[in-house]
Amino acid sequence: MSTISKENYLKTIFNNSIDSGSNATATKLANDLSVSTAAITDMAKKLSEEGLVTYEKYRGMELTSSGEKAALKIIRRHRLWELFLKEVLEMSWSEVHDEAEKLEHHTSEFLIDKIDMYLNYPDFDPHGHPIPRKNGTIPKTPNVMPLSQGEKGMFCEFVRVNDKDSELIDYLAKVGFILNSKFEVVDKLAFDKSLSIKFNNKILSLSKKITESIFIRLVKN
């Protein structure tokens, strides 16, 4: 089992548990990692033997304390690289995820600590995700919900986006809908759950697939 494979599994298990609030299922992990469920089961057994996860066939996978510590390390590296690439090398927020995926596996703790210090110990990456600290704690985040749960008349702030889809992020940048944008939900269609929002004096229509990847917090008008 390569170190890269193991790190990707641990990171994905952690992110799934945060997003769903429950154990990571083999089916969801297989989809996220583009592998078969048989490969997930095989990896689960290996990670279990190493004491990094607990695994029950019908309950999915849960990180042990050692597994969570390892996952937070790789997530910290990934998110700090994303911010460095955007802030220092001025790459777009749609480009940094894929590059960080490569760099995260080949960065020493010494270098990542230097990057953290250079960036003045930031709390969030370019997509609004919290950056784990060196001691394993996670910065406090606002209460958020997916935009798909928004209803007509809500006033909101765009605080996080799923960073896996560069096409989505390219589209949002193109229309000017970026992090920290404040907006109003002006309509929600019952038949397909698409939303229309108003920001910067313009109306933007968003499909349910898009709104499921955008996270918001409610604000006062």
User: Average pLDDT over the chain, rounded to whole?
Assistant: 90
Give the amino acid at 216: I
pTM of the predicted protein model: 0.87
CATH architecture of 145-218: Roll (2.30)
Cβ-based neighbours of 140, under 8 Å, separated by 6 or more: none
User: Is the fold of 76-141 the same as that of 145-218?
Assistant: no
Domain 3-63 has CATH 1.10.10.10: yes
Q: Does residue 140 carry a pLDDT above 60?
A: yes
Mean pLDDT score, 13-29: 76
The size of the chain, in residues, is: 221
Q: Where are the domains of the chain?
A: 3-63, 76-141, 145-218
CA distance 80 to 86: 10
- When mean pLDDT is compared across 13-17, 172-176, 200-204, 217-221, the lowest value belongs to 13-17
Written out in words, the top-level CATH class of the domain with range 76-141 is mainly alpha
Cβ-based neighbour number of residue 2 at 10 Å: 8
Cβ-based neighbour number of residue 142 at 10 Å: 12
Amino acid 84: pLDDT = 98
CA distance 202 to 38: 48
pLDDT in tens, 162-172: 887 888 999 99
pLDDT in tens, 141-161: 888 999 999 999 999 999 999
